[in-house]
Amino acid sequence: MIRLCVYVERDCWNCQEARALAQEMAEAFPQIHVALVEMAQDVDRPDGVFAAPTFTLNGRVISLGNPTREALRRRIERSLNGG
């Protein structure tokens, strides 16, 4: 299963948009798992996740900061198609 993780912080001004993007992708691609991860939680993070917002797809960083909606959709679609 494809997994999109969006790492956010409570006081991050860009994270509101990141949360909205995560929700949109969850609705647009119900076949993938979308998770919001609070950076303040003591969780294992992939290498390269050191600031919020950060987007990972299957454990790999795909965007430091918010990607455009179009770019994020293309990345997810490529993953769904095996690329």
For 11-68, write each residue's pLDDT tens digit: 999 999 999 999 999 999 999 999 999 998 877 888 889 999 999 999 999 999 999 9
Q: How far apart are CA 54 and CA 52, in angstroms?
A: 5
Check whether 6 has a pLDDT greater than 80.
yes
How many C-beta neighbours within 10 Å does residue 43 have? 11
Instruction: For the chain, give every domain's residue range.
Output: 3-80
The beta-carbon contacts of 44-48 under 8 Å, at least 24 apart in sequence, are 45/7
Per DSSP, the three-state class of 72 is: helix
Select from 3.40.30.10, 1.10.3720.10, 3.40.140.10, 3.40.50.10680 the CATH code of 3-80: 3.40.30.10
Q: How far apart are CA 7 and CA 38, in angstroms?
A: 6
Assess contact for 83 and 38: CB atoms under 8 A: no
